[in-house]
Amino acid sequence: MKITSDNFNPVLIKELRQQFHGKLFLITMGLLLFAQLATVFILYANMETALANNHTIEAMGPALFTASLVTFGIACVLLCCIGSLTRFMQERINPELDFSRFCAMTPLQILWGKMTSCYAIAIYLLSLCLPFLVIAYFLRGLSIVNIALGVAFAIVGTLFAIQVALFIGSIGQKNLIGILIFIALWGSGGIASLIAGIASRFLYRSSISNFILPLCLFLFLAFVAIGFIFVLNLALLSAPFANRTMPARIYTIALALLSPAFGFCVCHIPKIPMPMTETIVTTFFIACVISSCLCSFIAAFERSVIGPRVQHQCPQQPLKRLGFFLISSGSGGGITLAWIFELIALAIVLCLFPVRGAAYSTWPMSKVEAFAILSFGFASLLYTEIGLCIHKRFNMMPFSSWLTTAIIICFIPLLLFAFASFTYEGKGYDFSHLLITTPFYLIALNDNSLRITDIVCWFGPFFSLVGLGFAFPYIVEQYNNMRHPSNS
């Protein structure tokens, strides 16, 4: 069978042609090779100077390895992130160029074409760095495992940066140009420093067994973030009247349900003895809190009116209708699902740290630490619930109402706490009470007495429950509207 460009995704072909025909690609590729060649010549000059002065030649491999990965990260930001971001934003702003408006391609096909084109360019740039990585190996100071780990971290960082760039581009707002410039500068410097730090972390023949657990945790959190941004991109590219956030809700449920499998795999890592039951429960507990935060965050930007298209998809059976309400678009279903995750996490903590009786002795964290993690989920629920009330009462946009709530309840107390702590530093004053409506209250608490701690741990659940009381009528209203037209 003859393979032509018609057999591939049209968006992929278009993006690759624009990349390879652009001047930015040739300039970036030339600078990438020049920077690595310049590093090789500098190292060679230093080696000749050391030999002439009878000095000991140090291992040159780590320096060339770090320089190669840093230049690779910067090149990926320029081509895969900034270039794709600007083209995608121009397409979203202009309806005549937006694939989601003038062709029958699904949002998944459009996004997959954009992603694969960026990944292909990233792989091409990495292939340009491979000869220099081989030279770095022969210059001593690095092992094959060190090089493989550094490249793996660089690839994961590139995947994350590409997802963020596509997410910003899919928003398609002209007033984001200044923010985009800031993010581009921050992203290039951040990825470069991340790769450099990781490269130095794994240098000098360190034992790989010391880094297996941090590596697994980093990869788990990185791919969770990448997957979450991917489903948000799908929601942004979908039609406004479609069930846009269903993939995101299903993703959060899958994250919580599959987290014990990750804990089970961690327990079987060689040379890392970890109790299986405690590890699995801890992983599930943290995953429930993360899923709760993600659900409440998504619900803060969702609509409060159920559209006809979503109503026609609603099942008629009461139990199926409730499940459909939890995973469908609408702020009420998101808040309800976030509360379910948070209550499951709270039940785990209460089982391990009962109000009366001895705590579970082998639990890897204290009660205050467990409630400190829970407080992030409860704080997210509080901001979303109050934002929903402001949205309904004052007819504000969901984003504006949530942002107003977050500024008043979270950011202003944080600024006051930072200013007071800096002004009265060393004078014995405790300003942790300013953070009572933020998720950082238990972290900043100085009074570690048992009585105070037991009371303070319940501040987060109490405030989020009060917020639920104000938002409950609107949630019930959305649930009543979530019914098939034939049952109306």
Q: How is 308-363 classified by DSSP, letter by letter? A: HHHHHHS-SSHHHHHHHHHHSSSHHHHHHHHHHHHHHHHHHHHHHS-SSS---TT-
**How many domains, in total, are found in the chain?**
2
Q: Which of 160, 182, 206 is the last residue of a domain?
A: 206
If we measure between CA atoms, which residue out of 255, 247, 243 comes closest to residue 108?
A: 247
Q: Which two tokens stand for residue 194?
A: 């991340």
Q: What is the dihedral of CA 51, 56, 62, 68, to 10 degrees?
A: -10
Are residue 289 and residue 411 in the same domain, yes or no?
A: yes
Indicate whether 13 and 140 sit together in one domain: yes
Q: Token pair of 415, please? A: 């600024």
Residue 98 φ then ψ, to 5°: -80, 120
Neighbours of 308 (CB within 10 A): 9
Highest mean pLDDT among 89-98, 107-116, 349-358, 390-399: 107-116
Same domain for 250 and 160: no
What's the pLDDT at 341?
Answer: 95
**Rounded-to-integer distance, Cα 181 and Cα 171, Å:** 15
Domain-ending residue, one of 184, 206, 228: 206
Residue-wise pLDDT tens digits, 61-89 = 788 888 888 888 888 888 888 888 888 87
pLDDT of residue 413: 83
Helix crossing, 144-171 with 107-138: angle to 10°?
150
Widest CA span in the chain: 91
329 neighbors 302 (Cβ within 8 angstroms): yes
Q: Which domain holds residue 465?
A: 241-488
Q: Does one domain contain both 359 and 480?
A: yes
Statement to judge: residues 202 and 249 lie in one domain: no
Would you say residue 225 lies in a domain? no
* 14 exposure class (CB count in 10 Å sphere: 0-12, 13-18, 19+): middle
In a domain, 229, yes or no: no
The verdict on 258 and 350 lying in the same domain is yes
For position 20, what pLDDT does the model report?
Answer: 83
359: left (phi over 0), alpha (psi -120 to 50) or beta: beta
Q: How far apart are CA 447 and CA 451, in angstroms?
A: 10
* Same-domain check for residues 245 and 383: yes
Lowest mean pLDDT among 191-200, 341-350, 405-414, 442-451: 191-200
Question: Among 153-167, 171-185, 318-332, 466-480, which is the least confidently predicted range?
Answer: 171-185
Q: How far apart are CA 61 and CA 154, in angstroms?
A: 17
Are 338 and 295 in contact by the 8 Å Cβ rule? The answer is yes
Please tell me whether residues 164 and 272 are part of one structural domain. no
Tell whether 256 and 144 lie within a shared domain. no
Size of the chain in residues = 488
pLDDT over 70 at 433, yes or no:
yes
Answer yes or no: do 305 and 412 share one domain: yes
- The answer to the question of residue 212 being in a domain is no
Using the predicted structure, report yes or no on whether residue 391 has a pLDDT greater than 90: no
* Distance between start and end Cα atoms, the chain: 54
How buried is 446 (Cβ within 10 angstroms: 0-12 exposed, 13-18 middle, 19+ buried)? exposed
Q: Which residues of 240-249 are buried (b: 16+ CB within 10 A; e: fewer)?
A: eebbbbbbbb
Name the nearest CA neighbour of 230 among 153, 164, 178, 312. 164
Q: 3-state SS string over 31-98?
A: HHHHHHHHHHHHHHHHHHHHHHCCCCCCCCHHHHHHHHHHHHHHHHHHHHHHHHHHHHHHHHHCCCCC
pLDDT digits (tens, 9 = 90+) for 110-144: 888 888 988 899 898 889 888 888 888 887 777 78
* Residue 223 falls inside a structural domain: no
As separate numbers, helices (DSSP H) first and strands (DSSP E) second, the chain gives 20, 0
Chain-centroid distance of CA 205 in Å reads 31
- Asked if residues 402 and 384 have their Cβ atoms less than 8 Å apart, the reply is yes
Task: Tell me, yes or no, whether 248 lies in a domain.
Answer: yes
Nearest of 205, 123, 132 to residue 158 by alpha carbon: 123
Domain boundary among 206, 228, 262: 206
Q: How many CB atoms lie within 10 A of CB 125?
A: 22
Q: How high is the pLDDT of residue 6?
A: 61
Query: How far is it, in rounded angstroms, from Cα 418 to Cα 424?
Result: 10
Mean pLDDT of the chain: 78
For residue 367, tell me if it sits in a domain. yes
One domain for residues 195 and 110: yes
Domain shared by 99 and 45, yes or no: yes
And the tokens for 161? 């940066």
